[in-house]
Each structure stands twice: as structure tokens, then as C-alpha cells.
Chains A and B, each alone.
Chain A
Amino acid sequence: MQERIAFYEDMKAYNQLFELLSGGIFRFTCSLVKSREVAEEIVSDVFIKIWQIRERLPEIENLKVYLYTIARNFSLNYITKHYKNTMISLEELDVEAVIELNGPAEMCISADLIQQIRRIIRQLPPQCQLIFQLVKEEGLKYKEVAAVLDISPLTVRNQLAIAVRKIGEALPTYLQSGFTVINRFSHS
């Protein structure tokens, strides 16, 4: 796809790339700038940038990481320009992770419990929230998250474990109607 955009100026490939990755980048940007409108503009800027540098796309090793990284930089620039006046880093940033939580119906997870989990996620440190979002929602590998957030893969691994533990500990250790689930589990 990268090559098709670069060599043939292939609009179709470019549109596919947008459809494929812009949703995730939009959510990531939303978490940082906390405005859907601004996020949409930033995502658009990211893809404009990609079009501008299309000849160089084949040199980029991991386009996904590259796109998320530009989105991160654009978001930080935006925040620096509009709110603070000093340069800020990701760790200082107050983020709001965009996480989807809908257990399958058979799980019988109550709305209360979902609310409680949301609260737990919101109370996680900003970096931890972002890591959780990028791994769970966008399916990024540890290495990719590390590159996007400019931290070590080990930090990603540890932070994700913390997020998972905090959420896991809020879950009940029994299920009201969880027979099928337990069965399924015992085979795995």
C-alpha cells in the first residue's frame, strides 16, 4: 500500500489507508486533546502530511507507528499552542482514554460494574491509560506502543500489567450464570 501511494499516487490506496487507520488515530488523538473536532482536524493533518511526503513512504519501516507518532506530535503541538504556553510532555498531560467496554451478553456484566471499571481506567496514570488504549483498542504491539510514546517496551509491559490488574481485581470471582464461560475456560 505504501508503494502504491508513493509510486502511483494511488488515491484508492491512500483512501484505504485512511479508512484502515484513521479511526484508531482519531481515538488516540481524542484521548490527548479531548475534543472530537480538534482530533478530526489533527487526523486530517496527519494524512495530509502523509500525502505530502508520499515519495518517501517506502522508506518508512512501520507506517502505523509513524502515523501515530505524527499524531502524537501534532496533538502535543496543539495543546502547547492552545492551553499551556510551555512545551509539555506526554507524562505531564492529562489524558482521557477512549475505551470500549461491552462484554458479550453471556458475561452478564452489570452496567454498574462497567461504570466502576471506567472509573478505574480514568484513575490510572495518563501514560498507563494510553498504553492500555493502544494495546487493547488499536491492537498495537508493545514495541509499537513504545515507539509511539517514546518509552521502553518494558515500561509498556509493566504498565499494561498494572492496568490489567487494577481492572481484574474489581471483577467478581464468580459468575451468576457463567456455566458456559467456565466450561469454555476449562478447555482452553
Chain B
Amino acid sequence: MYMQEDQIKQEERFWLLVSLRLACEATPEELAELEAYLVQRPEMGVRMEMLHGLWESRPADARRGGALNRHLQRLSNHLSSPALNYETAVPHEEEEEVKMVSTGPSRWVHRILWPALGIAAAIIVVFLFVGEQEPRGEAVRTAQNTVSTKPGSKSKIQLPDGSQVWLNADSRITYDENFRGPFRQVQITGEAYFDIAKDKDHPFIIHANSIDVKVLGTSLNIRSYNNEKKTEAVLIRGSIEVTLQSSPDKKIILQPNEKLVVQNGKAMMIIKDTLKRQKETAVPVMTLAKAHLQDKDSTAMDILWVKNQLAFDKETLEDVARKIERWYDVKVTITDARLKHTEYSAVFEDESLRQVMEALRMTGNFRYIINKKEITITP
């Protein structure tokens, strides 16, 4: 009986010594004591060595890649939130931003128009595109709501905060069911027009292909189809802040009726107007320009679809075809490569597929055949 109690005490002491050794907290005396014990009880040594082996296994980083980038994105959102005091874009806030980049943009940056400042600085920073395009919010904390539209149909939804979203054809929006937390966040694929309810304490963030857009209360159009090369944001009212996912610590502030076009997944960045002098042949990764307004009531061309108008704004036949495919749920094939690049501008309201095709045929120089849901365009 006494023997047993004694042995239990001894074993407890042994495990304490082992734990001290594993934690590298043992004194030389304690290590010596452990050695001595093991001479008496060699079978315990096997256990200790096994435990040692287990102890040494180091944890792998359990997170998805790009944790640092995601963090820097949040940090920059956080730092900039005072600047989002609506209509008061504070230039000096942004200057501080630029200082954060240790490379220090050269003097000419300061001479460029101020909205271009963020872009210009971003050029310096982004030399390699970091294609961070994983789907967001995979392991789900709260239930996710997804609303999607098929080709040929549109939809209007109201989010839990009262914001309204018009969803164009073949598009999808995803958001947390209860829509709580410091940010109101949605993920968008396809095209959507947002009329966002004001709530200064809960910035609204739209995640699209290549860009994240942060707003307080405003309306804007986002076009971000997976099968298109570019992502577009057009601001109608208010003020928004766009972050390139490839360069999360840089922001671009848009003014009303400005349109930002970002090429998805490109390595170089050139701005149309400010850097025209540079003889770069690549397609600009990002362009900031005025949105085209319709003549009669100066509505931005980009949001005519919300009014059920099918609009082409100097778009190539290839882009036109893609829009028609979504709008009428058909398949369009263009057989001739040269035809693809001819440009069209037009606005249609409540017209049938045949009427649209006929109008295009008359301005362009092509023929077409409609066979049920398939359209073939030939020279």
C-alpha cells in the first residue's frame, strides 16, 4: 500500500521533470534527477522519448495564404476611415498613406492631379501582380445569403440594412445573413447597381474581381464578370474608395461620374492620360476617366440597364455580343476576327432580340443568322 502511494508520487515527480525538460525550463539539478530516475525505470524513457518526438512537431500555419495581405487591407481601411467622412476627401490623410510606403514616391507624384495620386503611387508599388483572388468567406461563421440571376433575367433585392441592389443578368451577390459586424460586406460577380443606405459607423464594402470598393452611402455601378477581362466601377453619387486587391495599401478615391476600369490580373500599370508620354504598349491595367453620360438626361451609360435599357457605349462587337448573350440568354458566335473589334454605340429599350440585331446589322457591315438560341455573325 505504502509502496504504491510512493510510486505514484515518484511518477508524478517524473512527469513534472519531463514537462520541465520539454518546456526547456528545467534546472541542471532537475535534469540530473531525471537521468537518475530513468536508470531505475528505463521503460519510462521510451515514453519520454516518444513524447519528445511528438513535442517537436511544429505547427504549420493553419491559415489560408495571404493572411498578411488581407491584414494590410484591413489596416488601410481602418486608417482611412476618417477620410471617408463623405464629400470631404482629405488630401493630407492620403499623403500620410503614401509615407507608409518605404520606397518613397519621387517628387513628380505630387504634381499629378490628386485623384491620380493614389494610382501613381500604386504604380510604383505594384510591379508584380499578386493574384489574390481566392473566394472570400469560405469557412462560414454565419450563414451566407446568395442571390443570383440567370442570363436573360434581372433582379432587385433589398439588403438587411435597407440598401438596394439591382442585379443584372448572370450575376451573383453574396452576403452574411445577419449583416452584422463592423463592416457591411458583399461579394459580387457580374454586374450590379447599388444604392447604399447611409450608415457612417458601418462602411459598406463591395468585393469584386480585382478590386474592393468601400463606401458609406452612395450609389454606384460595379461590373465584374468572371469571363470579362476587366472590372469596372462607376460612381453615380457620393464618394467611394477603391482598393486594388493586388495592392491593398493603396486607394483610389472616385468622384461622381467617374469611371474606374481595372484589367483583371495584369502585371503592369499605366494610366491613360497622365502617363501617355511613356511608350508602353501594354493595355493599361487601370484607367480612370469620366463616365459617359447619355445626352437626353445625363444618366451614365453604365447604369441604363437598371432602367431596362440595353446600352452599348463605344463597345466592340465582341463585348456587345457578350452583353446580348446575357440580356437575351442566347449564344452569339462571331466567325470573323476583324468584325470582333468594330465598335458600336446604341441604346435599346424594350426591343426584341431581332430588332436589336437588325439595328446593329444596319450600322455595322455584317450578316447574322438566328437559330433558336444561337446567333451566328458573319461578314
Contacts and interface: CB of A to CB of B under 8 A. Distances in A.
Contacts of B314: none
A interface residue count range (under 10 / 10 to 19 / 20 to 34 / 35 or more): 35 or more
A107 interface: yes
Given A15-B68, A19-B68, A44-B70, A102 B19 contact: no
A30 B139 CA distance: 13
B58 interface: yes
Given A23-B61, A117-B54, A136-B55, A40 B70 contact: yes
Interface in B186-218: none
A161 B15 contact: yes
Pick the most buried of B49, B54, B62, B101: most chain A CB atoms within 10 A of its CB. B54
A122 interface: no
A36 B63 contact: yes
Given A40-B70, A160-B23, A174-B46, A104 B63 contact: no
A142 interface: yes
Interface stretch (A59-67, A68-76, A180-188): A180-188
Interface string A3-28: 00000011110010011001100110
Contacts of B11: 165
Interface in B14-69: 15-16, 18-20, 22-23, 25, 43-51, 53-63, 67-68
B71 interface: yes
B95 to A, nearest CB: 13
A10 B102 contact: yes
B141 interface: yes
Contacts of A10: 102
A173 B62 contact: no
Contacts of A167: 51, 54
B75 interface: yes
Interface string A139-179: 00110000000000000011011011101110111110010
Nearest to B59: A100
A142 B43 contact: no
Chain A interface, >50% SS class:
helix
B57 A101 contact: yes
Given A37-B140, A136-B22, A142-B25, A22 B59 contact: no
A135 interface: yes
Contact of B48 (A19, A98, A168, A172): A168
Nearest to A141: B25
Given A44-B71, A48-B75, A182-B46, A37 B137 contact: yes
Contacts of B22: 135-136, 164
Contacts of B141: 35, 37-38
A101 B62 CA distance: 14
Contacts of A141: 23, 25
B373 interface: no
A103 B49 contact: no
Contacts of B20: 157, 161
Contacts of B67: 22, 26, 40, 43
A171 B18 CA distance: 14
Given A48-B75, A174-B46, A98 B15 contact: no
B338 interface: no
A37 B141 CA distance: 7
A107 B59 contact: no
5 contacts: A26-B67, A136-B55, A158-B16, A167-B51, A178-B49
Given A23-B59, A164-B18, A171-B47, 13 more contacts: A9-B100, A11-B102, A22-B67, A35-B139, A40-B67, A104-B56, A109-B50, A117-B54, A136-B22, A157-B20, A161-B19, A168-B18, A173-B44
The 5 A-B residue pairs with the shortest CB-CB distance, nearest first, are: A165-B15, A164-B19, A173-B43, A161-B16, A100-B59
